Amino acid sequence: MTFVVAPPATAGETQARALVNSADAAQHIAEGSLTDAPLGRVGLEIEAHCFDRADLQRRPGWQQITDVIAGLPTLPGGSAVTVEPGGAVELSGPPFEGAPAAIAAMAADRAVLDVAFDAAGLGLALLGADPLRRPQRVNPGPRYQAMEQFFAASGTGEAGAAMMTSTASIQVNLDAGPRAGWGARVRLAHALGPTMIAISANSPLRGGQFTGWASSRQQVWGQLDSARCGPILGHSTDDPAAEWARYALKAPVMLVRDGAEATPVLDWVPFAEWADGSIPLGGRRPTTADLDYHLTTLFPPVRPRRWLEIRYLDSLPDTLWPAVAHTMTTLLDDPVAADLAAEAVEPVATAWDTAARAGLADRHLRESAVRCLEIAAERAPGELIGSMQLLVDLVAQARSPGDQFSDTAVRLGIDAAIADLWQER
């Protein structure tokens, strides 16, 4: 999702400049991390796994998917369409004032996308992890080739491949808000993580097997190195811009770009060492463009991109993602709701692994989830009451969306459960 901000510099643009040292890099990161602005704008991104409806084991090829996208009409909600490494299709919506407008626009774009892919014999499945196929990259982009090599060299090749090609999410993007409230806002965005993971868990299977985790997507992300994918909070939670700078400079460089080429960095080189000249990657010192690109290779659960990008939610069915998007927005943007939510999630604010593994089977997470949904449901506009009620009723039974998919998979088989996702529309 792209808020209206100046795009980061690229290697060939005149605004890129050489970095003096790591302190210079830290200042560049901190200055661009969050934008001091009123709350209100909401943007959504939704990823969906792409299947050949005649052969669910086969991944549609890059050309087949991009041909469908090339033939799309103008999307009514203004979303951009991109393809993830494993062929998942992502809609990235522009920012709207308030969650209802963002949800309505995304729903309209989802409908157009589904029709186009259905006509091509393809289906888009809204699940947090691919329940059937093994990881396989179909996107030929040099970025993803380099990422594969980086993960393999760092000892996380299997998890890296699964993350890139077998996981999908819904991302909620919110304004950073006034500077004085950044610390509390970023803390709450993190503290909500375990509860919202439990609520949205929708990936009980991966690669044809039940994993034993409520969110197999989050399980995969947890297997990657925390320097790149862990929470950013640490030393100074009252200054998230500085904390993001520290996090980014400690994180290892994944790749070095030279024009359209991308060379993986196969040794562990924190960006700070490159910036300070200790290790001249690519035979040179880094520029601000290299630093801006480095930030795009970091995947914490809450990522500062001038706005806040909430990255920890599983992809969800069309009946439920509007409720989750409303809940996430309400608990962060409504000041009364935020205070109530902070109190509700405090006992489970760091229970990331428990949320991913046990989900709502954990009593403390279930209590937090019920309370958070109660807070959000009380503030739901009329057009979202139906979706909210479905989610409230589901969680009241200590069930997540993934439990519903599991039931169908056990009863009819995984293939039929996937096909059932399209028949529900």
Going along the chain from its start, the domains and CATH numbers come out as 36-138+166-228+304-420 (3.30.590.20)
| Whole-angstrom distance, CA of residue 202 vs CA of residue 215 | 6
> Quick one: pLDDT at residue 15?
79
Which residues does the chain have with pLDDT short of 70? 1-14, 234-236, 424-425
Please tell me the distance from the alpha carbon of residue 315 to that of residue 334, in angstroms, as a whole number: 24
Strands 169-175, 80-83: pairing is unpaired
The tens digit of pLDDT for each residue in 7-56 reads: 344 434 447 899 999 999 999 999 999 999 999 999 999 999 999 999 99
What pLDDT was estimated at residue 9?
Answer: 41
Q: What is the pLDDT of residue 261?
A: 86
Report whether 127 contacts 424 (CB < 8 A).
no
Provide the residue type at 58 as one letter: R
Q: What is the pLDDT of residues 223-281, one digit of tens each?
A: 998 899 999 876 557 899 999 999 999 999 999 998 888 999 999 999 999 999 999 99
> How many whole angstroms separate alpha carbon 330 and alpha carbon 175?
13
**35-73 burial code (b ≥16 CB/10 A, e <16):** eeeebebbbbbbbbbbbbeeebeebbeeebbeebeeeee
Return d(Cα 352, Cα 392) in angstroms, integer: 22
